[in-house]
């Protein structure tokens, strides 16, 4: 009888052991699961920051000249943390009104988070896209150093945005500096600033004829002028510059420095040196910005390749500045050609009075952040 009681006790204890084991195991599993959950919380947070990193990196690239088309992407890996991939989408159909949106995925361990933000271009910044990015540099050709097919030097690069357009300046803002606006209807016109007494003025010449239109600026061999010219003509030809011509912008107005040319046409801004006197040491000195949606072209007769054309102190900004097609710009027998880029001030010194002039940079559209769960 007692033997049976001992067996019963043993059985009860074994059953208790099994029950306790199950209970203890579920308890520790729960605590381990809680611990794992905290790791997930960290990973999810970090995945979000990596997704944000991708967005910031893409906007940084855009503002530094990168051009992304629909579907283009960038990616990066952070050692010991995770990775991101950001994809550019255009148009922005999210309703936020951005010019594009960025989809960015941050991944840490097993966890990924996907976010979306709309991107807006900088207000009124279109003109800036035609600025030449340059540090101090340029080319200096002396003696037998020719600029064959490269008159730019090495310390520059262009910022080209294929979808951008140059807005018209708000000429009413130029105050007394705005002499008047001219227009022409046909395919071409000649503008003589000296004849029209436009020295030290900001002048807007509007081409109303069918494109392509050509505006010829005739300096009539005067030696210097202060003139800030804006035009939408397809092409601009600048001619009859005196052999030592100086072109400066109109005087500063309320702290604004004007460019010498703001050209929204897509053709050429042509400097015609064929009218130079074929003498040694002739000079052209440009002391202001040239903004153009087209490109700048230096035209001279190949037979006069020895003409000295120093564009000293000039700051030339254009979407495309072609190389020297004749390969003769430079120096020969003691002559010297100098094209000098001397500014890094692309954004702080923009063409003034463009509509809604802003800081000219792409940025996240406020409040457009959204996440896909």
Partner 1 sequence: MRLRKGTTLVEAVIAIALMALMALWALHLYSNAMVNASQANDMEIASHLASQKIEYLKTLDKDVLDNISTSSVTAFSSPYEKFGYKYIVPNTAPSGSVNPDDENGEYIKYIEVEIYLMSDTSKPLIKMGCDFLRDDDTGENLGL
Residue 176 is a binding residue for partner 1 (CB under 8 A): no
* Nearest Cα to Cα of residue 230 among 273, 287, 166, 315: 166
Q: Least distance (Å) from partner 1 to the CB of residue 159?
A: 8
Q: Which tokens go with 62?
A: 């855009």
Where does this chain touch partner 1 (CB under 8 A) — which range of 34-42, 142-150, 234-242, 266-274?
Answer: 34-42
The only residue of 6, 95, 162, 255 in contact with partner 1, by rule CB under 8 A: 6
The only residue of 66, 95, 98, 133 in contact with partner 1, by rule CB under 8 A: 133
Helix/strand/coil for 114: strand
Residue 34 is a binding residue for partner 1 (CB under 8 A): yes
For residues 53 and 242, which CB has a smaller minimum distance to partner 1 in the complex? Answer: 53
Q: Which tokens go with 179?
A: 């002499």
* Nearest Cα to Cα of residue 296 among 321, 328, 273: 321
The only residue of 22, 70, 77, 154 in contact with partner 1, by rule CB under 8 A: 77
For residues 18 and 190, which CB has a smaller minimum distance to partner 1 in the complex? Answer: 18
Where does this chain touch partner 1 (CB under 8 A) — which range of 202-210, 233-241, 252-260, 363-371?
Answer: 363-371
Per CB under 8 A, which of residues 331..350 are in contact with partner 1? 344, 346-348
Q: Least distance (Å) from partner 1 to the CB of residue 114?
A: 14
Residue 222 is a binding residue for partner 1 (CB under 8 A): no
Distance CA(8)–CA(97), nearest Å, equals 79
Residue 320 is a binding residue for partner 1 (CB under 8 A): no
Residue 192 is a binding residue for partner 1 (CB under 8 A): no
Opening angle at CA 190, ends 185 and 193, nearest 5: 120
For residues 21 and 142, which CB has a smaller minimum distance to partner 1 in the complex? Answer: 21
Residue 187 is a binding residue for partner 1 (CB under 8 A): no
Opening angle at CA 163, ends 318 and 89, nearest 5: 135
Residue 68 is a binding residue for partner 1 (CB under 8 A): no
Is residue 141 within 8 Å of residue 338, measured between CB atoms?
yes
* φ/ψ of residue 299, rounded to 5: -110, 125
Is residue 285 within 8 Å of residue 246, measured between CB atoms?
yes
Is residue 61 within 8 Å of residue 111, measured between CB atoms?
no
* Nearest Cα to Cα of residue 269 among 227, 317, 312: 317
* Number of other CB atoms surrounding residue 50 within 10 Å: 24
Distance CA(13)–CA(226), nearest Å, equals 106
User: Which residues make up the interface to partner 1 (CB under 8 A)?
Assistant: 2-3, 5-7, 9-10, 13-14, 16-17, 20-21, 24-25, 27-28, 31-32, 34-35, 37-39, 41-42, 45-46, 49-50, 52-53, 55-57, 59-60, 63-65, 74, 76-78, 80-81, 84, 117, 133, 344, 346-348, 359, 361-364, 369
């Amino acid at each position: 009888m007692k033997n049976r009681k001992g067996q019963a006790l043993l059985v009860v204890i074994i059953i208790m052991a099994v029950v306790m084991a199950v209970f203890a195991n579920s308890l520790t599993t729960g605590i381990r699961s809680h611990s794992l959950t905290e790791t997930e919380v960290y990973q999810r947070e970090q995945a979000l920051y990596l997704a944000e990193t991708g967005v910031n990196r893409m906007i940084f690239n855009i503002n530094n000249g990168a051009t992304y088309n629909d579907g283009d992407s960038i990616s990066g890996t952070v050692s010991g943390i995770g990775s991101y991939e950001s994809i550019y989408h255009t148009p922005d159909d999210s309703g936020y009104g951005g010019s594009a949106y960025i989809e960015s995925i941050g991944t840490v361990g097993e966890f990924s988070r996907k976010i979306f933000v709309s991107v807006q271009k900088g207000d009124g910044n279109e003109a800036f896209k035609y600025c030449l990015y340059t540090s101090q540099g340029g080319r200096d050709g002396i003696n037998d150093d020719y600029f064959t097919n490269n008159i730019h030097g090495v310390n520059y690069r262009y910022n080209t945005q294929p979808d951008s357009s140059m807005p018209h300046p708000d000429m009413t803002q130029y105050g007394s500096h705005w002499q008047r606006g001219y227009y022409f209807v046909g395919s071409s016109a000649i503008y003589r600033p000296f004849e029209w007494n436009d020295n030290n003025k900001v002048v807007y010449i509007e081409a109303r004829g069918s494109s392509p239109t050509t505006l010829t600026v005739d300096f009539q061999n005067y030696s210097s002028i202060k003139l800030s010219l804006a035009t939408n003509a397809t092409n601009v030809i600048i001619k009859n510059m005196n052999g030592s011509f100086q072109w400066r912008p109109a005087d500063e107005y309320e702290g604004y420095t004007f460019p010498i040319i703001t050209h929204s046409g897509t053709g050429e801004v042509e400097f015609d040196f064929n009218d130079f006197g074929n003498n040694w040491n002739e000079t052209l000195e440009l002391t202001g910005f040239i903004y153009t949606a087209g490109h700048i072209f230096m035209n001279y007769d190949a037979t006069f390749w020895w003409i000295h054309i120093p564009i000293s102190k000039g700051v030339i900004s254009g979407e495309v500045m072609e190389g020297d097609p004749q390969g003769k710009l430079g120096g020969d027998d003691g002559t010297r050609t100098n094209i000098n880029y001397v500014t890094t001030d692309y954004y702080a010194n923009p063409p003034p009075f463009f509509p809604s002039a802003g800081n000219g940079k792409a940025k996240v559209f406020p409040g457009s952040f959204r996440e896909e769960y």
